[in-house]
Structure formats: C-alpha cells, structure tokens
Amino acid sequence: MRAPERIQALAAFVIKEMRHILRDRQTLTILLLLPLAQVVLFGFAIRTDVNDIRLAIVDAAPDDATLALRARFTGNGRFRIVATAATVDVLEPLFRRGEADVALVIAPGLARALADGTPARLQLITDASNPNTGTTMQTYAGAVIRTWQAALPGARQGVTIEPQVRMLFNPTLESVNLFVPGLIALVLTLVTAQMTAISLSREKERGTLEILLVSPLRPWQIILGKVAPYLLLAFANVVTALVAAWVVFRVPFRGSLLLLLAASTLYALVGLALGVLIAARTESQRTAMMGSMIGTMLPSTLLSGMIFPIASLPWPLQLVSNIVPARWFIVIVRGIMLKGAGVVHLWQELLVLTVMFTVLLAVAIRSFRARLA
Amino acid sequence: MTLAIEVRDLTRRFGSFTAVDSISVDVAVGEVFGFLGANGAGKTTAIKVLIGLLAPSSGSARVAGFDVLTQSEEVRKRIGYMSQRFSLYDDLTPRENITLYGGIYGLADAEIRARGDAMLNDLGIMHVADKLVSTLPLGWKQKLSFSVAMLHRPDVVFLDEPTGGVDPVTRRQFWEMIYAAAARGTTVFVTTHYMDEAEYCDRLSIMVDGRIAAMGTPAALKAEFGVSSIDEVFVRLARPATATAG
Amino acid sequence: MRALRFLLRKEFLQIFRDPALVRMLFMIPVVQLLVLSNAATFEVKRARMYVVDHDASTMSRGVVDRLAASGRFVRGGGSGSVALGDDALMRRDVEMVLTIPPGFERDIVRYRHTAVQLLLNAEDGAAAAVTQAYAREILARYATELGTELFPATALAGARAERPPVRGQPAVQVRTRGWYNAELDYRHYMVPGILVQLLTIVGTLLTAMNIVREKEAGTLDQLNVTPVTRSVFIAAKLIPLWIISMVVLSIGLVVAKVAFGVPMIGSLFLVFGGAALYLVAALGIGLWVSAVTETQQQAMFVNFSILMVYLLMSGLFTPVSSMPEWAQWVARFNPMMHFISLMRAVMLKGAGFADVARQLAVLATAGAVVLTIAVRQYHKRSA
C-alpha cells in the first residue's frame, strides 16, 4: 500500500473509532459532564482549613472571670460550644462519640486567683486522634485565651515578634485554586490511561483486535486510531474544567492558555501511552482496570502533590513520586495558572513529560508486538 | 392437540424498527419445529421474547402452558435454551458448568452426577469433562451447551442455531439427540441455516422481514411452491426480501 | 436457596481461577496501605528558607538559628536583597523567604514588639499553610524566651518559672493535652481511613465489573432463562466479594498493627460488625452500577464517578466539618463517612457500642436501601 492510501486507511479507521465512542451516548455524556461536576462539587466542598470547632467547657464554679473567658469563645466565629458541664466526666463520652473537638477545663476560683495573682489554671484538651486538625484547633484555642489574658486588668505585655505572612500566588490559600490543577490531572488520567487500557483490552478479549491486525494497517496506526478519540475527549475535558473553574470560582488564570493546552496534550499523550502499556500487559478488562486503577489513579492522587505536599513524603516516596507523571503536570498547571509561569520556568517539567512519553510509548509498542507475535 | 407453544400476533419493535411483525405460531407437544429465516429476519428476537429475555411490544405468547409475560417464572422452570453465541462459563470445566445449572434447576446431587455423566458420554466429550471450557474446540462447546439446555428435562427446548460451525458428523449426532429428546416428549423449537436439517423437522416456518412467510410440513411446503427441496422454497421466499433490502 | 449454593460455588471458582485477580485482591491492599499511609501527611519535614537579614544583630541571628535548630527549616541561601529571595521563590529553589527588617533588635528592647516578614510560595497551599504555622510557633517561642530573659517579671502564658504571686498581677497557666494520639502520629489517624478506602475501591470495582462482565460474555442470558430469582442472583454476586473483603480487612488490620502500631483500643468485634454492614452497602452500589450498565467500560466509569464523590466527601483527607452546610448534608448520605468515623472512634478512642450506635444504624439502613435498589434494578427481561 502506498503512503496516501495508508493515510486514507488510517483516517477511515480513526473515524470508525470516533463513531464507536459517539454512539455510546451514556458514556460520552458522563465523560463530558464528569469533570464539570467534579470541579463544581469539589471546588465548593473541599476545604482543608478548620473553621467549625466544637468546644466543650467544664466550668465547676462559674464566676465573672469564667463567664468573660467563655464569652471570648462564644464571640469567636470559629468555635461552637456544644456542652457546658461542671465535671470532667462528660468529656470522655463526648470525645468518643466525636461530638466535641476541644475541651476547655477551668479550675474553680478563677476570679479570685486572678485577683490574688496566684496561678489560674486552665486546661485545653484536644481530640488529637487527627493530629493535624488537633494541633490547629489547639493553636486557635490558645490564641483566644491569649487575647482574653492580654485584656485582663493589670496584665503586662511580653515580647511579641509578629510574623507578617504573605502567601505568594494564592494569598487566601483558596482551596479551589489548588484543587483545580489536581482535578484536571485526575480527569485526564482517567480519560486517557484508564479508558484506553480498557478499550484496548476489550478488543483483545473479544478477538476483534486480531481482525484489525490482519488488516494492512500497521500496529502503531491501530494504536493511534484507538487513542485519537480519547485524546480529543481529553482536550474537551480540560477546556470544560477550565471554563468551570474560571466562571464559577474565578480561579485566576495568569499564564498562557496555549501553553496550558499544549502541556495538557503532552500529559494526555503520556496517559495514553501508559494505557496502551497496561492493555498490552494484561489479559482481561477486569485486570486491565484494576491495573490502571492501581497504577495510575492512586499515585496520581496521593504521590502527586495534589492533596498532600510532596515535601511531606518520606524520602523513598519522594523518589517514587518522580516517576508519577501527574506530579510534574500539576507543577506545570499550577505554575501557569497561579504564577503565570512560561516555558522558561517550566521547561524541565515539560522535558520530563516528553521523556516519559517517549519511553512509555516505545515500551508499550514493543510489548504489544511481543504479545501479538 | 395440546400446544407447547402458542404465539398470537406477537410484535417486537426496537424504536422505529419492527424486528418481529405480528407473528402467530402453534407448536404441538413433542413436535420438532424448524424456525427458519435469513440473517436478520427476526428469529433470535422472537426466541428471546418466547424465553422471557425480551418483553413483547404487543401480542401474546404461551409456552408450556404459561403466559410468557405474566407467568415468566413458571415458563423458565419448564424450558431449556441454547443460544446462538456460546454462553456457558469459559473459566469453568464442562462438569462444573453442568453442576451449576443442575443445581439452579433444583436437581439432587446424585441426579446431577448421573445425568451429567450420561450426557457427556452420549456426546463423546467425557474425556474433557475436567478441562477448562476455554480450551475446547467450538463443536465440543456446542455439545456442552446442548447438554446443559437439556439437563433438567425441560418441556420445551429452544435451540438457536445449535449446529452453526459444527462438522457434519457432529451435526448428525445433534439431530439424533434432538429426535431422542422429542421421543421423550420434549418439544423442540430450533433455528438453522442448513436446509438439509430443515427437512428433518416435523413442521417449519420461514420468516422474512419479521413476518412468517410460509408454514407447514416440509412436504407440504415443497408441494405449495412446486419445488423439490426446502432450499428452493427458501430462496424463492427470501429473494424479494433481499431485493427490497438492497 | 439450593440454587444459591451452586451459584456461590461458581463465583468462588471463577475468582480463584484468575491468578492475576487473586494476587491483586490480596497483595495490592497491603502494599498500598504500606505506601499510602506514609504518603498521606501534611507534615513538612524540611522547608528551605531564604534569609534576608537587614538587622544582622544577635537577636536577628537568633531568629534564624531557632528556625534552623527546630529541624523544620533549612537555610537555602541568603543575601541582603529581597529581589534575589523572590527569584529563588519563583524558581522553587526555596519555599519561604524570611526578611528581618533593620532595627529588629532595637524595637524588641524598646517597644517589646517587632515584626518579621515571611513570604511563602502558596502554589502548594497545604504545604505553605503548614510551613507558616511552624514558623509562627517557633517565633512565638523565641519571643517568650526573649521576654523572660529581658523582662523577668512579666507573666506569660505557659511560663514554667514559678514566681511569688503579686496581687493585681494576674498569672495564667494553660496546660494543653492531646487525647487519643499522644505522639501525634498522623498515620494512626490515616491508616484506618485508608484501609476503608482500599476496601471500597477493590470491592466496588469487582462488583461493578461482575454482572456487566456476564452481560458482555453472553452468559447472563443463559442464567436469566433459568428460574433463579433476582435476590438469589444478587446474593450470589455479593457474598463472595463480601467474604473476600472481610479477609482483606483482617489482613489490613494486622498490617496496621504490626507496621504502624495503630492501636485497637475498642472492640475488634465492633469494627467487624461495622464492616459487615458497610460492605453490604458499598458492594451493593457496585452491583447496582453493574446492573444498569451495558459494558465494563461504562461500569468502570460510572463506578469511578461515584467513588470520587464517595472518597472526597468522606472526611478521609479533609474534615467534613469544614465543608459548607449543603456539602455536609451530602456527606451524611455517604456510608463511607460513617464507617471511617466508626473505625477511627473504635480503634483510636475506644468507642463502645452506644457511642457508635448511630453510625451502625446509618450503615444498616444504607445497606438495606442499596440492596433493595440493586435487586430492583436488575431485570431478567429487558423492556
């Protein structure tokens, strides 16, 4: 077959694959709507800050001073008082049932102790089963006590070093700004790696792949035909996710849209190559799916910096995170969207993805051939 | 005459396409009924309605004395089905498949064993009884499907192209089994593409474009069309259909 | 019921005949638990800071020393130029730029008050927030230290030094205690949740693929022409994976104990009881997906969408109480949230039956509802 004919054959094949996907309305609808729904849902729902702290107060002998202290907590928007009791016995069940996060225990005779200058004893108990929120809540409660204390008559001030903190690129630490890049990565992984892995292994299972292989199309052309529609879908997904992020949440967009789309395409290609590799190495749709789930989804959420900072990982996992494509892609997307970074700043990440794509593709095609030979 | 299958004006549509167009068929108990038609004539759709896998769009059907729409569970207890596409478990052995279906139809353990062995012997596939089905050639898989469909001695058995892709010797064996079943009182409703097989049927119908174009004993049909074989009857009937379908 | 026995046997045979599947079923949760539990932490070990010290005094050097000595920060460069610091931040060479203004020491001595600037790269928001909190804490401690050194008479929160009481000069002692996780090991908190996550992913994926797989293979038609009832069919699909999931849970709990030292303060029986109910709901959702889809690809996709909502709205990674009101309502319908909170309460806090009765009730209801839907959505005859 001469080159033009071959191109024609390839085009026919790609069109056939597109029809296949377009005909399956249900899947297509989900594929197009899912990213949109996710950005909206999680943009609103996912908050890493702590803003509703349930407080239990143990005040054995209420007096003016304890009431003033309690008022400080009531007046603070972060705290919600769920119980007030005279003895500490109530705390244990409250904590066990998860109905209180922090308890403030005030020793009897607070007003007198303050007046006498004898130590007034307060105790802050936090549910530290979650150490993150536990520590944060403790800090907030401590701060309330300090303000109360500073306002006491006769209080003398100590030394303060005030940290003036500026958060660059995301001054309010808006969670949605941080999640959108991660979500884009996740959706792309799903549409590219997983869908390709499954659709190819489906053809393997059904034996239809063999029919394609005896056609004059070359193996790489068959693979290209199978992945091209998913590449288009991935592209549509990135655009919808971005539009949703911008329209609904006003997520800033400081860099070049063109660069972002180019990087997304590159990332999608890495995902597709990975999907082909998984399909080549597995026998059934079921194992392909399990494999792609474990091989792509979990690392993409947990070892990519999407939720947990890379810097927090123990060093062996930091090393592992280097081979997770999403890790590099998220840096690129965040860089472009939040910092307005350009190729000058991101060339290393882009290079890493390009290398990954080349290597994965080579391995995938080789193992596909080995399987079929 | 008691009827094993009683179909009245049965219609099944898929959207605007009418796959089965108001057909009426009666099959007597113990009869071997050939259900013929070109590819896409609506045979498989009609069978799926009769065995309760598809709901009819209109019309009614009774199988083994029960209405397929309202008493489908009663119907299911009394029928066997062998689908066109192999539909037993590839990752189980023949014996495991037989045991599964025997258990589902409520046969006792001893009965499952006895009947299973008898069938595997009759069909000459005893030696592969404990090999995975996926490793068997198509002909043997078909034999297995047949034995599973007949395992619980159903009143009516539906065979959708049982001999498709099977060698001539095995086809003969199949028809011997079919006759044996009919002799025991099982009604056989069978579709086929082989016109020589059609001659073995007590009666047959020929479906064209969702309708029944002709029905009767092989001899009567040949006489009606003035030809010497069912093959010719079929070609006569099917030709206009292929012409209009383009 | 007799039919159920045979169907169960068949399901088990099919699962155990697929070695790749069995390996994945038992190996992967363990490996993932070991890896992911270490990954799920916000703690930042060493943040690199760029120092711009305009004061160059004993106290300004003290600030830098304290930060470095804490082990949380490491000096990643320094100069007299803020612009150079900004550059380092932009290039991601450092995470924080610390700027100490001129007159830092003088202001402390004269006014007891001064300020430093912390510039953080908030591209990685979670890390930035944590890094900032560390820096604040270290600075506050250094301030207290300077206070007692320079002005010994001043009363301070948390000051250890006992001093004779002075009338009219209030003294407050705040003691802080963290219950249930004294060593503040984040993994103790995450391991039970991650275990639930893995159980759910593996379990629902397999159930979601199960019925639809038979649809694709054509074997479902053969089953549907038999008198097997819908509930027996669903039960036969559910029970094997339910049992396997319980086994995986047991293995996971052993790993949690041995590898991470996660305590089991409450009753193990309660954990398994909760799991028994939860798995019915979780696996039931998978079966429902499988009953309403036509291809494995579709099933996987629908299941994945449900899992995403499930996971991110379960309180596993981010606290449910921080969500807006409507999202908290959504989360209340998420069986996973209730099961995770039950696991955490029983394992870490020793919650008893009465403490988790509400969660158990929710899980039981969810299981019943989901199963009913799955059975009703599964049709032997297509319309």
Q: How far is C253 from chain B (nearest CA, A)?
A: 33
CA proximity to B86, closest of B183, B29, B160: B160
Do the chains contact at C125 and A119, CB–CB below 8 Å? Answer: no
Which structure tokens are listed for A7? 């191109």
- Amino acid C40 reads A
Instruction: For residue A156, list chain C residues with Cβ-Cβ distance below 8 A.
Output: 153-155, 169
CA distance C361 to C376: 23
> Whole-model pTM?
0.81
Kindly state the DSSP code that residue A312 receives in the 8-state scheme: G
Q: What is the CATH number of domain A53-148?
A: 3.40.1710.10
Do the chains contact at A122 and C43, CB–CB below 8 Å? Answer: no
Domain boundary among C93, C125, C150: C150
CA distance A233 to A193: 12
Residue pLDDT tens, chain C, 383 long: 788 999 999 999 988 888 878 887 888 788 888 887 877 777 777 888 999 999 989 989 999 999 999 888 989 888 888 888 888 887 778 889 999 999 899 988 888 888 899 988 877 777 787 788 888 888 888 887 887 777 765 444 444 444 556 666 667 777 777 777 766 677 888 889 889 988 898 888 889 888 888 988 889 989 888 988 888 999 999 999 999 999 999 999 999 999 888 888 889 999 999 999 999 999 999 999 998 888 887 888 788 878 878 887 888 877 787 788 888 888 888 999 999 989 988 998 888 888 889 999 999 999 999 999 988 888 888 77
Sheet of strand C171-179, all strands in order from the earlier edge strand to the far edge: A79-85, A53-59, A102-106, A119-127, C171-179
CA distance C61 to C379: 75
Nearest CA in chain C to B97: C10
Tell me how many helices (H) and strands (E) chain B has. 9, 10
Which of A73, A161, A176, A198 to mutate against chain C (most C CBs within 10 Å)? A161
Sheet of strand B187-191, all strands in order from the earlier edge strand to the far edge: B79-82, B156-160, B187-191, B32-37, B203-208, B211-216
Rg (chain C; Cα; Å): 28
For residue C100, what are the β-bridge partners? Answer: C53
Which structure tokens are listed for A227? 């992945």
Q: Which residue did the predictor score with more confidence, A193 or C362?
A: C362
For residue A39, what are the CA distances in angstroms to A169, A173, A187, C308?
A: 20, 17, 10, 12
Q: How far is A360 from chain C (nearest CA, A)?
A: 22
B223: Cβ–Cβ under 8 A, 6 or more apart, which residues?
A: none
Do the chains contact at C167 and A115, CB–CB below 8 Å? Answer: yes
CA distance A138 to C28: 37
Do the chains contact at B87 and C221, CB–CB below 8 Å? Answer: yes
CA distance A268 to C26: 31
User: Which residue among C122, C139, C172 places its CB closest to the CB of A168?
Assistant: C122
Q: How many CB pairs under 8 A join B and C?
A: 81
CA distance A127 to A138: 9
Instruction: For residue B101, list chain C residues with Cβ-Cβ distance below 8 A.
Output: 226
pLDDT digit string (tens) for B5-27? 999 999 999 988 999 999 999 99
Q: What is the CATH number of domain B3-245?
A: 3.40.50.300
In CATH, what number is assigned to the domain containing residue C116?
Answer: 3.40.1710.10
- The answer to whether residues C122 and A175 touch, using CB atoms and an 8 Å cutoff, is no
- With a threshold of 0.90, tell me whether the complex ipTM lies above it: no
User: Which residue among B88, B102, B106 places its CB closest to the CB of C219?
Assistant: B88
Sign of the dihedral through C-alpha C165, C177, C353, C282: positive
Nearest CA in chain C to B84: C218
CA proximity to B34, closest of B216, B210, B166: B216
Residues B75-103, mean pLDDT to the nearest whole number: 91
Q: How far is C90 from chain A (nearest CA, A)?
A: 8
C7 with C110, same domain? Answer: no
C176: in domain: no
The DSSP-derived string for A87-150 is: SGGGHHHHHHTT--SEEEEE-S-HHHHHHHTSEEEEEEEEETTSHHHHHHHHHHHHHHHHHHHH
- Scored b (16 or more CB within 10 A) or e, C76-105 reads bbbeeeeeebeebbbebebbbbbbbbeebb
C234 with C320, same domain? Answer: yes
**Which H or E run contains C113?**
strand C113-121
Instruction: For residue C180, list chain A residues with Cβ-Cβ distance below 8 A.
Output: 95, 127-129
Which of C188, C297, C356 to mutate against chain A (most A CBs within 10 Å)? C297
Domain boundary among C134, C150, C166: C150
For residue C341, what are the CA distances in angstroms to B119, B134, C263, C363?
A: 56, 46, 15, 12
C165: in domain: no
C183: in domain: no
C352 with C253, same domain? Answer: yes
C129: in domain: yes
C156: in domain: no
B78: Cβ–Cβ under 8 A, 6 or more apart, which residues?
A: B63, B64, B65, B66, B154, B155, B156
pLDDT of residue C152: 61
Task: Give the total number of structural domains in chain C.
Answer: 2
Q: Tell me which residue range forms the domain holding C272.
A: 2-40+189-377
H helices present in C112-229, as ranges: 125-150, 186-217, 219-224
User: Which residue among C41, C139, C350 places its CB closest to the CB of A163?
Assistant: C139
CA distance A349 to A263: 10
Question: Within its chain, how far is the Cα of C77 from the centroid?
Answer: 35
C365: in domain: yes
Whether C27 contacts chain A with CB within 8 A = no
| B neighbour chains, 3+ CB pairs within 8 Å | C
C59 with C30, same domain? Answer: no
Rounded-to-10 torsion of CA C108, C110, C113, C116: -50
pLDDT digit string (tens) for B108-140? 999 999 998 988 888 788 898 899 998 998 888
3-class state of residue C288 by DSSP: helix
Whether C36 contacts chain A with CB within 8 A = yes
Sign of the dihedral through C-alpha A95, A100, A104, A108: negative
Q: How far is C217 from chain B (nearest CA, A)?
A: 7
Which structure tokens are listed for A164? 């003036």
B110: Cβ–Cβ under 8 A, 6 or more apart, which residues?
A: none
Instruction: For residue C225, list chain B residues with Cβ-Cβ distance below 8 A.
Output: 51-53, 76, 79, 81
C169: in domain: no
Residues A57-71, mean pLDDT to the nearest whole number: 89
Q: Which residue did the predictor score with more confidence, C165 or B155?
A: B155
Neighbours of C261 (CB within 10 A): 12
Instruction: For residue B103, list chain C residues with Cβ-Cβ distance below 8 A.
Output: 2-3, 5-7, 9
C51 with C32, same domain? Answer: no
Whether C171 contacts chain A with CB within 8 A = yes
CA distance A361 to A274: 8
Report which listed range, A75-79, A163-167, C163-167, C312-316, is most confident. A75-79
Strands (E), chain B: 3-14, 17-28, 32-37, 58-63, 66-67, 79-82, 156-160, 187-191, 203-208, 211-216
- The answer to whether residues C199 and C247 touch, using CB atoms and an 8 Å cutoff, is no
Do the chains contact at C6 and B103, CB–CB below 8 Å? Answer: yes
CA distance A318 to A301: 14
Which of C11, C13, C214, C222 to mutate against chain B (most B CBs within 10 Å)? C222
Residue ranges of chain A assigned to CATH 3.40.1710.10: 53-148
